[in-house]
A = this chain, B = another copy of it.
Amino acid sequence: MINQYKDEDKVLLAVDCIIFGFDNEELKLLLIKRDFEPEKGKWSLMGGFLKKSEVLDEAASRVLQHLTGLNDVYMEQLYSFSKIDRDPVERTISVAYFALINIADHNSELSESHSAQWFGLEDMPELIFDHNAMVKHAIRRLRYRTATQPIGFELLPEKFTMRQLQKLYEAIFDHELDKRNFTKKINAMDLLVRLDEKDMTSSKKGSFLFKFDEQKYKKKVMDGFSFKV
């Protein structure tokens, strides 16, 4: 078969990862300080190029794994960015992905070796290229996804307190929530299992730990779901 596509333009395809974490207080992003040109020394999302042997999801996982050491992470393709001069070196289209990780899980030596650092959404530096726009987009998507599927749990450790979960939702929606109403709504979802175990670090009384029920969780994700603020 002759190749009827041979006169078409080829381009570089990058993936860039918006990596969200949660430190029990605020939503954070893992950014790297570029140690190569162009824009050396500036802050940037972690990225890489698609190889011919990979699909996009694999490329994004590889990039994430490279920076955090983590596998099996919640990732979702976001949007493809294609401004002509977005990368000054060469025409590059970038497919943005966002990832939700548990900060405690990531390999911090690996991150440090990439001069990576967590930033709160409020005190983030300016990023290179169109990365600021990617982050904006990712926050919107995270809010929508959280309102639609219980993916918030991906950002928490396996066992967590109701207050941690609430703080997380508050951070994602940037909106204070009522403790009682929140508990009610979460319980109505019927996704959590309360353990016979308390976290004693946050108060003298201690607060119950929960984990979420993966079976029910998967079912809810399938059926759709709604959380409103």
A: residues with CB less than 8 A from B are 1, 3-5, 8-13, 36-38, 49-57, 77, 79-80, 82-84, 89-93, 95
Contacts and interface: CB of A to CB of B under 8 A. Distances in A.
Task: Quickly give the copy total for this chain.
Answer: 2
A95 B49 CA distance: 17
* Chain A, interface SS category: loop
B82 A3 contact: no
A9 B49 contact: yes
A11 B10 contact: yes
A13 to B, nearest CB: 6
Contact of A37 (B1, B51, B79): B1
20 contacts: A1-B37, A1-B38, A3-B89, A3-B90, A4-B37, A5-B90, A8-B12, A8-B49, A9-B51, A10-B13, A11-B11, A11-B13, A11-B52, A13-B13, A13-B93, A53-B84, A56-B80, A56-B93, A57-B82, A80-B80
A11 B95 CA distance: 13
Contacts of A92: 5
Contacts of A56: 80, 82, 93
Nearest to A90: B5
A36 B9 CA distance: 19
A92 B49 CA distance: 15
Contact of A83 (B38, B51, B55): B55
Contacts of A52: 9, 11, 91
Contact of A36 (B3, B4, B49): B4
Contact of A9 (B50, B57, B82, B90): B50
